[in-house]
Amino acid sequence: MFDFRSILKILQFLKLLIFSLFEHLILFIFPPCKKTFVGEIVLITGSANGIGRQIAINFAPLGATLVLWDIDDEGNKETSRLAQKKGAKRVFAYHCDCSNREEVYEQADKVRKEVGDVTILINNAGILLGKRFCDIPDADFEKTLRVNFLSQVWTCKAFLPAMMTCNRGHLVSTASAAGLLGVYRAPDYAGSKCAIIGMMEALDSELYHAGKQGIKTTIICPYFVNTELAKGFQTQNHLFLPVYDAEYVASKIMDAIQKEKFYLIMPLTLRFLAFKIFIPRKVVLLFESWFKIADSMDKAFGQKKKD
């Protein structure tokens, strides 16, 4: 006998699946109006330079209140000055070591009291050592995880409850293409970025099933960006793996936030990484050799590998 209940459930699922795919297609052809940021409280970690600074500058003329977190006080002051020059009316700069859990929670309390509840959280702070696995001291490996990954755990824990109360907000996490495919000379970095992607996907799932669809999630996965983090890195293939300027990446991040995209993968050629589990590992390594990724990392972060 046929189990008509099971068949009915399958048909209902297929109906919802087709509707979701059709909705995605319509939104791709006719994108919704970009949301505005007037009145939003935007907190950016790692705001003293690079992508964080450029994001702050992009938000400056849009009517949002900016909260800047960094351990580089002078750089943060300069970001604040540039943002105000671009039209930001309210800018608050805080010294915060995001690798220190107690300091993150302490500064979060200050922000709530002095500024208000954060509505857009942009986790951007990060470090990159560029060392081989056995050359990374345990303390440095742990530091990479604290700065790149655990800091995002703590900031989300600090600011998400208020977003959930009003079912409104946006979590933006800077991960990396290295979180999609482990990169030579970056085992600690790739591990931390992979953890970010997994956590944010899981968190988005929790919010969805809790009925908190008003809170959006955006995961940023760029290739190398020309900032202090990867200073000296030179791509060996500009066509397929370009190294972008921070200004350009920040503009794409702003667009992704406004359009409420879940993933932002840069460049588009890296989307093939979604199929890596279907590709033989030797083929993946062949691609890495062809793109000379190992050579690029050696030139940027250390001596060329010995024969």
Which one, of 159, 148, 70, lies nearest residue 108 by Cα? 159
Half-sphere exposure of 44 (CA within 13 A, CB side): 31
User: 């970095």: which residue's tokens?
Assistant: 189
Distance of CA 13 to the CA centre of its chain: 31
Asked if residue 120 lies in contact with residue 43, where contact means CB atoms within 8 angstroms, the answer is yes
Out of 189, 223, 248, 263, which one is annotated catalytic? 189
- CB neighbour list of residue 106: distance below 8 Å, 6 or more residues apart: none
Q: What does the angle CA 269 – CA 297 – CA 249 come to, to the nearest 5 degrees?
A: 45
Asked if residue 170 lies in contact with residue 216, where contact means CB atoms within 8 angstroms, the answer is yes
- CB neighbour list of residue 87: distance below 8 Å, 6 or more residues apart: 60, 61
> Is 189 tagged catalytic?
yes
Q: Find residue 222's DSSP bridge partners.
A: 266
Catalytic positions: 189
